[in-house]
Structure 1
Amino acid sequence: MSRTDRAVRMVAASPAAVYEALLDRESLEAWLPPEGMRGRVERWDPRTGGGFRMALTYVDPAGAPGKTTDATDVVDIGFAELVPSERVVQRAVFEADDPAYAGTMTMTWHLVGSDEGTEVTVTAVDVPPGIGQADHEAGIASSLANLASYVEAPH
């Protein structure tokens, strides 16, 4: 059965600034990896139909259940839809031998502007069963906290 995971965060920045951080290679490397991980973009094509490949490495691989290797998760992300300052729809496929991580997960980053900034809602559907829901939602929330810190800070 299909599972949906979700996280929401108010970010004190404009929808345009948040959207830009979703589509900038260096920005993604800085904020997308959740706590305890580092990320490296290996391929980059920021357009509808394009996408990127990211290697996420556990800072402390002891006991880390990497999907690709013991210490890494490698994911291919395709940009299914890009609507400036409103939404980014991604299709994510993990590089893994374990069938529990197989399939395509769709992640929608929905941006709604307000006087306080931008409410960012991340909805993941068709989450592979090997990814624990509580861990996944905590990871998304961690990435959203990183995103907020990144776009709220002067560069």
Structure 2
Amino acid sequence: MIERALVIGAGISGMQAALDIADSGYQVLLVEKEPTIGGHMAQLSETFPTLDCASCILTPRMVEVGQHTNIRRLLLSEVTAVEGEVGNFQVKILRHPRYVIEDKCIACGACAKVCPVKVPSEFECGLSERSAIYMPFPQAVPAIYHLDRDVCE
């Protein structure tokens, strides 16, 4: 029997859970609906109540999750069904396409020029704009662009 675990959500809590499980020797499948890991903490400048630098806490965890050999990330994915019992679950996962060839993306930004459409940036809560082909934020893990098909076809 392969000892493995599924973690749903790659925010700070999901990443820490995945790291703890992976460091214990288990294979971890980390499922995240967004094109990058980090969750909402990536949008914060400080944490409460200590006012610690949010990116100083988050960025090393993101890098560690990205490099951990026991963690497999499934981004742009969602769990659609779970069956079974403790120790023997069967999970169905729906993966959405990124529309960018991940192995060839070097995060140069050239692809963003293909579709010049601009929309409000979700990461910046609508205070700025992003292209239809974009990287969610500069420290995104993985550093791969994503095409928003609803904006540019």
TM-score range, shorter chain: under 0.3
Q: What is the TM-score with the length of structure 1 in the denominator?
A: 0.24
TM-score, with length taken from structure 2: 0.24
Bigger strand fraction: 1
Rg larger in structure: 2
